[in-house]
Amino acid sequence: MVDKLIGLDSLERSAEDEQNLNDSFSVAFNTPTGAKVLEYLRSISIETVAGPQISQEHLMHLEGQRYIVGLIQRRINKGKSQKIVKDKTNE
Protein backbone atom coordinates (compact mmCIF):
# COMPACT_ATOMS: atom_id res chain seq x y z
CA MET A 1 0.00 0.00 0.00
CA VAL A 2 1.32 3.42 -0.99
CA ASP A 3 1.03 6.17 1.61
CA LYS A 4 -0.98 9.11 0.34
CA LEU A 5 -0.65 12.70 1.39
CA ILE A 6 -2.37 15.98 0.65
CA GLY A 7 -0.20 18.04 -1.67
CA LEU A 8 0.34 21.77 -1.98
CA ASP A 9 -2.69 21.92 -4.28
CA SER A 10 -4.91 20.10 -1.74
CA LEU A 11 -5.06 16.96 -3.90
CA GLU A 12 -4.19 13.50 -2.61
CA ARG A 13 -1.28 11.69 -4.21
CA SER A 14 1.68 9.57 -3.18
CA ALA A 15 4.67 11.22 -1.53
CA GLU A 16 6.79 10.12 -4.50
CA ASP A 17 4.41 11.73 -7.00
CA GLU A 18 4.34 14.93 -4.94
CA GLN A 19 8.15 15.02 -4.79
CA ASN A 20 8.40 14.39 -8.54
CA LEU A 21 6.02 17.29 -9.24
CA ASN A 22 8.06 19.63 -7.05
CA ASP A 23 11.29 18.52 -8.72
CA SER A 24 9.75 19.05 -12.16
CA PHE A 25 8.64 22.60 -11.34
CA SER A 26 12.04 23.40 -9.87
CA VAL A 27 13.85 22.15 -12.97
CA ALA A 28 11.46 23.78 -15.45
CA PHE A 29 11.69 27.23 -13.87
CA ASN A 30 15.41 27.07 -12.98
CA THR A 31 16.48 28.37 -16.37
CA PRO A 32 16.70 31.90 -17.73
CA THR A 33 13.63 31.23 -19.89
CA GLY A 34 11.70 29.70 -17.00
CA ALA A 35 12.57 32.67 -14.80
CA LYS A 36 11.29 35.07 -17.49
CA VAL A 37 8.05 33.13 -17.82
CA LEU A 38 7.52 33.18 -14.06
CA GLU A 39 8.33 36.91 -13.95
CA TYR A 40 5.71 37.52 -16.65
CA LEU A 41 3.09 35.41 -14.86
CA ARG A 42 3.75 37.28 -11.61
CA SER A 43 3.45 40.64 -13.40
CA ILE A 44 -0.01 39.85 -14.77
CA SER A 45 -1.34 38.25 -11.60
CA ILE A 46 0.26 38.70 -8.18
CA GLU A 47 1.70 42.14 -8.91
CA THR A 48 -1.48 43.48 -10.54
CA VAL A 49 -3.42 45.99 -8.47
CA ALA A 50 -7.17 46.04 -9.02
CA GLY A 51 -9.00 49.30 -8.50
CA PRO A 52 -12.40 49.81 -6.91
CA GLN A 53 -14.12 49.57 -10.30
CA ILE A 54 -13.23 45.87 -10.71
CA SER A 55 -16.19 43.54 -11.13
CA GLN A 56 -16.66 40.53 -8.89
CA GLU A 57 -16.16 38.21 -11.87
CA HIS A 58 -12.92 39.92 -12.89
CA LEU A 59 -11.64 39.82 -9.30
CA MET A 60 -12.45 36.12 -8.99
CA HIS A 61 -10.60 35.48 -12.26
CA LEU A 62 -7.58 37.47 -11.06
CA GLU A 63 -7.53 35.63 -7.73
CA GLY A 64 -7.54 32.30 -9.60
CA GLN A 65 -4.54 33.45 -11.60
CA ARG A 66 -2.79 34.53 -8.42
CA TYR A 67 -3.47 31.15 -6.83
CA ILE A 68 -1.92 29.29 -9.77
CA VAL A 69 1.19 31.49 -9.89
CA GLY A 70 1.56 31.18 -6.12
CA LEU A 71 1.26 27.40 -6.43
CA ILE A 72 3.95 27.35 -9.10
CA GLN A 73 6.26 29.38 -6.86
CA ARG A 74 5.60 27.13 -3.86
CA ARG A 75 6.35 24.00 -5.92
CA ILE A 76 9.59 25.57 -7.19
CA ASN A 77 10.63 26.41 -3.63
CA LYS A 78 9.69 22.95 -2.38
CA GLY A 79 11.63 21.31 -5.23
CA LYS A 80 14.72 23.38 -4.38
CA SER A 81 14.50 22.48 -0.69
CA GLN A 82 14.02 18.78 -1.54
CA LYS A 83 17.20 18.93 -3.64
CA ILE A 84 19.14 20.55 -0.78
CA VAL A 85 18.01 17.82 1.61
CA LYS A 86 18.81 15.10 -0.93
CA ASP A 87 22.27 16.57 -1.61
CA LYS A 88 23.07 16.76 2.11
CA THR A 89 21.88 13.19 2.61
CA ASN A 90 24.18 11.96 -0.17
CA GLU A 91 27.30 13.70 1.23
Task: Report the distance separating Cα 50 and Cα 62, nearest Å.
Answer: 9
Q: What is the tens place of the pLDDT at every residue in 37-86?
A: 999 999 999 999 999 999 999 999 999 999 999 999 999 999 999 888 87
pLDDT, average across residues 8-20: 93
**CA dist 6 to 12, 43, 68, 79, 90, Å?**
4, 29, 17, 16, 27
Per-domain residue ranges for the chain? 4-89
